Amino acid sequence: MKAVLIPKALELQLIDIEKPQLKEASDVLVKVKRVGICGSDMHIYHGTNPLATYPRIVGHEVTGEVVEVGSEVSNVKVGDHIVVEPIRSCGTCYACRNGRPNVCDKLSVFGVHEDGGMREFIVLPENQLHVVDANLDCDEAVLAEPYTIGAQAVWRGGVSKGDTVLIQGCGPIGICILKMAKINGATVMMTDLSPERLEFAKENGADFVIDAGNENVIERVQQITNGEGANVVIDAVCLPFTFELGVEVASVAGTVVVLGFDEKPSAIKQLPITKKELTIVGSRLQTKQFEKVVALLNEGKLRHDGLITHRFSINDVHEAFSFVENNPDKVRKAVIIFE
């Protein structure tokens, strides 16, 4: 079967490997149908993901169909359409004991620390699979994992009805956060440098958009909120200066949610944190968000609405990665088709 391997940074190979077999009674064999190309996949390709190991079959945004189940599998059956939860945790460390397996001390992420889904068949334990409506289009289902990232950021920010939220960045994750924040009843402001991305954010429900290259973000937020500031700031740009800006623009008793892995330090003043009694939290992967997202997908309350812009056959994976890399202004989300 075909698989996409990154043997080391800046190398991409379409290889033939053996079809995986069930080994454990809880295992499930899945025929892959769609895999999204995530920013983290591109970081692995470029050698800039500090958490990835090589060689690596990438891909963690996966939807497919069950073709075989182990003898003890009870929650999925042959023919079910599924999406993959890419987290494997130990269940015993401090994080796991406190309901936070996404930051498990021995965390293993499908497609990052272990081989992922960009191959024709995968085997995973049933607890990493979630059944979606068989009538749900694969282009909708494949976005389940990115939506869980958005749901996690919204949960970590405590976003609720009536809150004013500032999302920095209108890329794919920013749009996923937007959709989840609107479902929670928030008023949402979004920033970006791209007029096209800002317009797409408006089309997907953003109440206000701010051109960060031509407008003063702090002043605009103050105008929009009548001087209160943003109750929740979610940073999906993840640069030192956007973290700094988030602290400045947050309201009294506000929350700043950080999604980034940038190792460069930020110059954060203590005074606004203490004076406003801010809560600053990280958001990584997701914690128990799949059931919520799958229900929203099945109910038709989550739709990609143009978020997927490009589709490539597995045979054209080199072209796909090259196109995504060289056309950031044209690509919102690209997917690999295995059918």
- Do both 172 and 252 map to the same domain? yes
- Token pair, residue 269, equals 């003043």
pLDDT at 36: 98
Whole-prediction pTM: 0.96
Which stretches of the chain drop beneath a pLDDT of 50?
none
In a domain, 295, yes or no: no
pLDDT at 339: 81
pLDDT at 263: 84
- Do both 14 and 139 map to the same domain? yes
Give the span between the Cα atoms of 113 and 58, in whole angstroms: 9
pLDDT at 50: 84
Q: Which helix (H) or strand (E) holds 83?
A: strand 81-84
pLDDT at 49: 86
In a domain, 88, yes or no: yes
pLDDT at 261: 82
Give the domain CATH number at 275.
3.40.50.720
In a domain, 273, yes or no: yes
- Do both 116 and 213 map to the same domain? no
Q: Which helix (H) or strand (E) holds 325?
A: helix 317-326
Question: In sequence order, what are the residues at sequence separation of 6 or more whose Cβ sits closer than 8 angstroms to the Cβ of residue 119?
Answer: 1, 2, 3, 4, 17, 32, 57, 59
- For helices 144-156 and 172-183, what crossing angle results, to 10°? 60
Give the domain CATH number at 35.
3.90.180.10
Radius of gyration of the chain (CA): 20
In a domain, 297, yes or no: no
Give CA separation, 233 vs 145, 151, 189, 198, 206, in Å: 22, 14, 9, 17, 14
- Do both 136 and 155 map to the same domain? no
Amino acid at 256: V
In a domain, 288, yes or no: no
- Token pair, residue 224, equals 């929009």
Torsion angle, CA of 85/167/36/53, rounded to 10 degrees? -70
Q: Which helix (H) or strand (E) holds 108?
A: strand 108-109
**Structural domain containing residue 57:** 2-143+304-337
> Across-strand partners of 256?
233, 280
In a domain, 264, yes or no: yes
- Do both 139 and 154 map to the same domain? no
Give the span between the Cα atoms of 76 and 272, in whole angstroms: 50
Amino acid at 183: I
Please state the domain count of the chain: 2
Give the span between the Cα atoms of 243 and 231, in whole angstroms: 15
β-strand pairing of 27-37 with 2-6: unpaired
Phi and psi angles of residue 297, each rounded to the nearest 5 degrees, phi first? -65, -45
Q: Are 112 and 19 in contact (CB under 8 A)?
A: no
